[in-house]
Structure 1
């Protein structure tokens, strides 16, 4: 067994969590705990094996830089793309998303264990996978039914990656300084105006852009009120 699936993780999986109570609450009915925990163990062992296989290459390529693409975008170094492809092939992307959209619907604890394994092997890869998971979870929680149907299956399959556009030239950790404006148009679409910088995994296809509601722009300036995440694809499908 890979030491990436360490004693602390196994302790939580096998001893500390009341899976009967947790899974019954999540699923609304009694479950076969032994079967569920066995499936969790298999998934974590698979993730640990992959993480261990990533470490050597990540150490050798730690200084590798991302690459610009012909369409004006950017993508991570080749070894990160290769590792992501292996995670995608194993189905280990966006683990917390509901099975309705192709995910596993796993508890956050288990998703956190997988991200910890990946972070130990290659922190840059974890940035990509972690942002992917975060963007998918926010889309599932707050997106319209149409948005969820359109994007969540593509998130969980790994077809598209996601990121979050927060930082601006005048606003980093101070989100009250956000000046990007979101204006709802007559046809129901949203127009986003502003500038974002230093976006982690900014070459991703799906950007959740933090913007201030145009209708209350002046009243909410300098505060975190009136802020929303707007899903903006890097390429228009029409």
Structure 2
């Protein structure tokens, strides 16, 4: 088995990771984990430089619906990918609204029929799965999705690969992880044991403050700003989706 980090290896954006169960063999199961857009000076590897061609990828797993994890999915489909796109139910509900919004300002020249064709293909290829259940892929490979606590629908993935001796090799891809004690979002699930952990480290060099005290900390800052006649800037990040696309039960 070989794992190649095709994006977000030495940077933050453009997450993309390839698993090949038998590199160079026609029998290889090729699994892509995320296919995101890169921003700023972060590199973005062209598809013709991937270790395998897009049409040879059988599965694309999406950890969540942020554009730096899903933004290149339409391009991957355009390049020939026709495998299964696997994610949580909530991520599937967010895929089209998030990509449609991103493409509206990054691809102004897209013709309407091209956009509609790719949206139909994306919806046809993508499948939502439940959390905390084990599902089977080809050749005895299994996967399980668990709460990552990052955004609605975010998950980390446990893959189990069998070998010729009746043993299992367990690999976890964390995706982006959230913190505990976040309103609305579930806490991240504790991971099971694994042989290999591929872990995001965007904030790996710092300790986050205790989130239970955030309301009190914000209150103190506002009182200080009012006393000083100052200005408070509050950055806000949000996901938007049409209600009809999210009218489903989500166990996360």
TM-score class, shorter: under 0.3
Q: TM-score, length-normalised on structure 2?
A: 0.21
Query: Higher strand fraction: Structure 1 or Structure 2?
Result: 2
Query: Higher helix fraction: Structure 1 or Structure 2?
Result: 1
Q: TM-score, length-normalised on structure 1?
A: 0.22
